[in-house]
A and B are shown apart, each in its own frame.
Chain A
Amino acid sequence: MSSAVKENHVGVRNRRQGQFGQVMHRLSKNKVAMVGLVIMILLILMAVFSPWITPYDYAKTSKADRYAGPSAAHPFGCDGMGRDILSRIMYGARASLWLGLMSTLVATVIGVVIGSLVGYYGGKVDNIVMRILDIIQAIPGMLLSIAISAALGSGIGNTILALSIGGIPMTVRLLRGSILTVRKQEYIEAAEKINCSRFRVIMSHILPNSIAPVIVSVTMGIGNTILQAASLSYIGLGVQPPTPEWGAMLSEGKAMITKYPHLCIFPGLAIMVVVLCLNMLGDGLRDAMDPKLKN
């Protein structure tokens, strides 16, 4: 990364490591963030290997175990069709994590492309694009996701699209704002003057120096998107039963909540743990990227 970055940061113990190395070093000293990171990695491994490690088949029904409460054989109990809830939660991590990661990724990639173009070129295009984003942002995010999700229909792919569209304006705004402060710096002018192509100026000079706020907001955004995805599934849009997704499981269980609360308690706890870990990690990353903010 360019050397200008290092000098911009305060309190950097610079031992010839890149900016990335410094951030990781500071992050590794943050215990809370590390706990979040470790649990998150374990959860991702669990999601990836779930077909092989779940105690039961997630789709296997059993009449004898209908609504069985938590026991040694089924730690989280069984649902209305006698399916093991622990196995369903483990397998459901795939859908829930995938939804959160992919929607945020899609929103970020599109947001970064648009943001860097309008931030760099400015002018009329910037004006038009920002006004269009104003319109999208004037609709409360959840409402927009609900409407798009209804229009596209259920399913994981469509839900990803529905969730990501609402996230684009924020990324664009963040990146554009931070590019505008970088844009007039001497090193950008220098790069332009030595005939770097525009693509190169954006990719290797502007973006590395302005992407930090986006990275922080992405980490926080994944958690938020998982919450939104679960809410969508809960009201019957988004991912639908029998796909084991945490929000959908809650939606299935809500009718019987008074009699069999374990149907709802555990999927909700799973959502909370994941989002909590992501937020812990996000907080740590924010502090590591901008030591000025750390108190």
Chain B
Amino acid sequence: MIRYVGKRLLWMIPVMLGIAILIFSIMYICPGDPAQSLLGPSATAVELAAKREELGLNDPYIVRLGRYLYQTFIRFDLGTSYKFGTSVFSGLMERMQYTLVIALFCMALQVFVGTPLGIVAATHHNGVADRISMFLALVGVSIPAFWLALMLVLIFSVNLGWLPTSGVANGIASFILPCVANSFAGIAAQARHTRSSMLEVIRSDYIITAKAKGLSQRTVLFKHALPNALIPIITIVGNGMGMMLGGTVIIENVFAIPGVGRYMTDAITARDYPVVMGGVLVLGLIFSLIMLLVDIIYAFVDPRIKAQYEGRKGKK
């Protein structure tokens, strides 16, 4: 197990290198001149040229790429923001709290609301509860998160005045609408997958046996059915995390939350390349770590997978 985790962690190094090269290349072909957007339209040609030289924008692709990789992976420095002149890493860390709070809270909503909904739907298969929750889930995966956010603001902030429209000044209250809007699709997807995974398990022979020996509905459900339906459910949780990290970028823009997503979209408009590249790298790293975590959780849920990791030593 430890060897497996170690291997996966080592494998992450080439993946991060790959992400760095990919995102650097994307930014390299980006039109627009960082010097121009830094100095404004009034800058003279000489000033622009000097600024470009200072930022090292005149060097050929391969030199700049090499310098970026050296700086990132040998000196662990994500560079300095063109716009703010501050370290990208500390800029990201300052804002990371907001993004992580939203993403984790959304994850929690997805797991603790979506999964029970799916279980209820599966146990009341074709009943009213099933029909209603599956219709809601279908709407949920079809609704654009940013539009849902706007509508929630319209209802709860503008008309009812219960919650703030934007910003983070009001503590927890400021995070309610962003989290609900951002997690709605996740909850819906979670419910749909949990339902189909549970339905598949519920019809297996061992569930019929368990019922036949007179176990209570509750025991059958939580001791026999749920553990066997967990693998696809966990997969969806992992995928959901990627969606949440991407989704917060949009939601932070809707609610003007000063998180990593907003930092990055502002940086894209300002052609502040180090910030964009740093942000993608850090979010990619977080995402990869979560995917690794998901794989490790698999092993705890399913002894067969654990046995695979442990190789010849076999069963636990």
- B29 and A139 within 8 A (CB): no
Q: How far is the CA of A153 from the CA of B32 in the complex (A)?
A: 10
Dominant SS at the B interface?
Answer: helix
- A250 and B147 within 8 A (CB): yes
CB distance from A235 to the nearest CB of B (A): 5
Which B250-265 residues sit within 8 Å CB-CB of chain A? 250, 253-254, 264-265
- B143 and A257 within 8 A (CB): no
Most chain A beta-carbon contacts within 10 A, residue among B150, B203, B245, B265? B150
CB distance from B246 to the nearest CB of A (A): 3
Q: Across the A-B interface, give the 8 residue pairs with the lowest CB-CB distance, nearest first.
A: A142-B246, A135-B18, A268-B147, A140-B246, A275-B142, A276-B142, A151-B30, A150-B268
We find that the number of chain A residues with CB closer than 8 angstroms to chain B is: 45
| Interface hit among A41-49, A117-125, A258-266 | A258-266
Q: How far is the CA of A235 from the CA of B267 in the complex (A)?
A: 13
Chain B residues with CB under 8 Å of A237's CB are: 268
Which A165-198 residues sit within 8 Å CB-CB of chain B? none
Which A231-283 residues sit within 8 Å CB-CB of chain B? 231, 234-237, 247, 250, 254, 257-258, 261, 264-265, 268, 271-272, 275-276, 278-280, 283
With contact pairs A264-B147, A268-B150, A279-B138 given, residues A132 and B18 touching in the complex (Cβ less than 8 Å): yes
- A280 and B138 within 8 A (CB): yes
Check if A141 is an interface residue, CB within 8 A of chain B: yes
- A258 and B268 within 8 A (CB): no
Q: List 17 A-B contacts (CB under 8 A).
A: A135-B15, A136-B22, A140-B245, A142-B247, A143-B284, A151-B27, A151-B31, A227-B142, A227-B144, A258-B158, A264-B150, A268-B144, A272-B144, A279-B142, A293-B200, A295-B196, A295-B199
Q: How far is the CA of A250 from the CA of B151 in the complex (A)?
A: 11
20 more contacts with CB within 8 A, not counting A138-B291, A230-B144, are A131-B14, A132-B18, A134-B15, A138-B284, A139-B284, A143-B246, A146-B264, A223-B141, A227-B144, A230-B146, A230-B147, A234-B146, A236-B269, A237-B268, A247-B144, A250-B146, A254-B254, A257-B150, A264-B154, A265-B151
Measured as residues with beta carbon below 8 angstroms from the partner, the interface class of chain B is: 35 or more
Dominant SS at the A interface?
Answer: helix
With contact pairs A147-B276, A272-B142 given, residues A142 and B284 touching in the complex (Cβ less than 8 Å): no
A24-68 interface mask toward B, CB cutoff 8 Å, 1 = contact, 0 = none?
000000000000000000000000000000000000000000000
Of all chain A residues, the one with the shortest Cβ separation from B17 is: A135
B153-191 interface mask toward A, CB cutoff 8 Å, 1 = contact, 0 = none?
110001000000100000000000000000000000000
Q: How far is the CA of A147 from the CA of B125 in the complex (A)?
A: 43
Check if A148 is an interface residue, CB within 8 A of chain B: yes
- B243 and A140 within 8 A (CB): yes
Chain B residues with CB under 8 Å of A264's CB are: 147, 150-151, 154
Q: How far is the CA of A136 from the CA of B253 in the complex (A)?
A: 24
Chain A residues with CB under 8 Å of B165's CB are: 258
Of all chain B residues, the one with the shortest Cβ separation from A143 is: B246
- A272 and B143 within 8 A (CB): yes
Chain B residues with CB under 8 Å of A153's CB are: 31
Instruction: Name the one of A151, A235, A283 contacting B250, with C-beta atoms under 8 angstroms.
Output: A235
CB distance from B184 to the nearest CB of A (A): 12
With contact pairs A138-B288, A257-B150 given, residues A276 and B19 touching in the complex (Cβ less than 8 Å): no
Q: How far is the CA of A161 from the CA of B218 in the complex (A)?
A: 50
Q: How far is the CA of A227 from the CA of B247 in the complex (A)?
A: 11
Q: How far is the CA of A293 from the CA of B147 in the complex (A)?
A: 33
CB distance from A9 to the nearest CB of B (A): 17
Of all chain A residues, the one with the shortest Cβ separation from B143 is: A272
CB distance from B32 to the nearest CB of A (A): 9
